[in-house]
C-alpha cells in the first residue's frame, strides 16, 4: 500500500479510502466485517463513513456496524484513521441536523457512541450550512478538539469560496481549520478543477473524491450493464446519454489491457492534489481488485486520449475569461 499525508497535516493515510456507505443497505454485517478486515490486510488504513449512512433516520446503522467491528479488538480501532460526517437529518426536531453548535456537540457524542470509540480522527461537515456563522461552527469544533473528541476537521461538498472563508476565519482564531475536502470528482464530472482544487492546494487541504467511478459508469458499465447499481434506471439513462464516450473509454482500457475501474482511479491518483479516492466495495472481490490501480502508470499519450474523451477545465478565471 502507498501512503500520503492528509493535506498539510502530518497524518498519513492510504492512497485508497474505504467507503462504507454500502454497509447495511447493500452489504451484510458479516460481509462488512470481512471487507474491513481485508482492507487492513491490504494496508488500507483510511475509512470513511457518515452518521446518516444506513438511511434509517436517526439510527446511524453503518456507524453501528463499524463500532461492532471495532469492539472485536485486535487493535482494529488503533489501526484505522476514522472519518465520519455530520449535517444530515438525524431526527425530526429542529436541532437534530445541520451545523449549529448544539447539533455538532450532540451529533459528535452520538457518533462516538455508535462507533464505540472515544475520538474521531477526521470530523467532516457533510455540506455547507449557510445559516450558521463560521464563528459558531469553529467555536464548537475547537471545544471538541479540546475535549479530545476530534483531531481534525474536514469539509464535504464545499465550493472554493467556502473553503477560503472557512479557513480565513479559522486562522483569525488561531485554529487549524479545514484539512480536507471530500468532493464529487470523476472523469465525467471535473468541475472542481476550476476553483475547488486550486483553493484546496492554496490552503493545504487534501482532496478525498467521492464517486470516483461515477456510480459505476466508469467501471465497465456496458459489459456489466445488468449488475447491481448499473441496472438502475438512473444509470441506464445516463449510459444512453453518454454511450459514445463510455464505449470509447472502455475500448481505450481494453487496448491497455486494464479494467476501466482501475484506470479511472489511476487517472485520479496521478494528480498531486488528490489524497485518496473513496472506493465503496460491496464484496471482497471488488476490494481486492481495486489494488491493481496503484500499479498503473498512465503515459502522456493515454492521458491525452482520456482528455479527448472527457475534457476537463482550466483553473478559474482562465477557464471562462482571459
Helix (H) or strand (E) holding 307: helix 300-309
Q: How far apart are CA 43 and CA 38, in angstroms?
A: 9
59: Cβ–Cβ under 8 A, 6 or more apart, which residues?
Answer: none
Q: Which three cell numbers stand for residue 172?
A: 483569525
Give the CA distances from residue 159 to residues 33, 80, 98, 165, 182, in Å, rounded to whole numbers and listed in that order: 35, 28, 17, 10, 11
List phi, psi (to 5°) of 94.
-60, -35
Q: Which three cell numbers stand for residue 199?
A: 483553493
244: Cβ–Cβ under 8 A, 6 or more apart, which residues?
Answer: none
Active centre residues (catalytic): 53
Residue among 282, 312, 313, 305 nearest 21 (CA)? 282
Sign of CA dihedral 194, 217, 154, 295: negative
Sign of CA dihedral 276, 74, 112, 34: positive
How does DSSP classify residue 217? Answer: T
Amino acid at each position: 500500500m502507498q501512503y500520503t499525508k492528509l493535506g498539510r497535516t502530518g497524518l498519513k493515510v492510504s492512497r485508497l479510502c474505504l467507503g462504507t456507505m454500502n454497509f447495511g443497505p447493500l452489504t451484510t454485517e458479516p460481509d462488512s466485517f470481512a471487507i474491513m478486515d481485508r482492507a487492513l490486510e491490504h494496508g488500507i488504513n483510511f475509512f470513511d463513513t457518515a452518521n446518516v449512512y444506513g438511511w434509517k433516520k436517526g439510527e446511524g446503522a453503518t456507524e453501528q456496524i463499524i463500532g461492532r467491528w471495532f469492539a472485536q479488538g485486535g487493535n482494529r480501532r488503533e489501526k484505522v484513521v476514522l472519518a465520519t460526517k455530520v449535517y444530515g437529518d438525524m431526527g425530526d426536531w429542529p436541532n437534530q441536523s445541520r451545523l449549529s453548535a448544539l447539533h455538532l456537540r450532540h451529533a459528535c457524542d452520538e457518533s462516538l457512541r455508535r462507533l464505540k470509540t472515544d475520538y474521531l480522527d477526521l470530523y467532516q461537515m457533510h455540506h455547507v450550512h449557510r445559516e450558521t456563522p463560521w464563528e459558531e461552527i469553529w467555536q464548537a469544533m475547537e471545544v471538541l478538539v479540546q475535549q479530545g473528541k476530534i483531531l481534525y476537521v474536514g469539509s464535504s461538498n464545499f465550493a472554493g469560496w467556502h473553503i477560503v472563508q472557512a479557513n480565513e476565519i479559522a486562522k483569525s482564531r488561531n485554529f487549524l481549520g479545514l484539512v480536507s475536502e471530500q468532493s464529487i470528482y470523476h472523469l465525467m464530472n471535473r468541475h472542481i478543477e476550476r476553483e475547488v482544487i486550486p483553493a484546496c492546494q492554496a490552503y493545504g487541504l487534501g482532496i478525498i473524491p467521492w464517486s470516483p467511478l461515477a456510480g459505476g459508469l466508469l467501471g465497465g458499465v456496458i459489459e456489466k450493464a445488468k449488475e447491481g447499481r448499473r441496472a438502475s434506471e438512473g444509470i441506464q439513462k445516463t449510459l444512453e446519454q453518454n454511450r459514445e464516450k463510455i464505449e470509447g473509454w472502455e475500448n481505450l482500457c481494453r487496448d491497455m489491457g486494464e479494467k476501466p475501474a482501475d484506470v479511472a482511479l489511476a487517472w485520479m491518483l496521478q494528480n498531486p492534489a488528490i489524497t485518496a479516492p473513496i472506493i465503496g466495495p460491496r464484496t471482497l472481490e471488488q476490494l481486492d481488485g481495486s489494488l491493481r490501480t496503484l500499479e498503473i502508470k498512465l503515459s502522456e499519450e493515454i492521458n491525452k486520449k482520456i482528455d479527448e474523451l472527457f475534457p476537463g477545465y482550466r483553473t478559474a478565471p482562465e477557464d471562462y475569461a482571459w
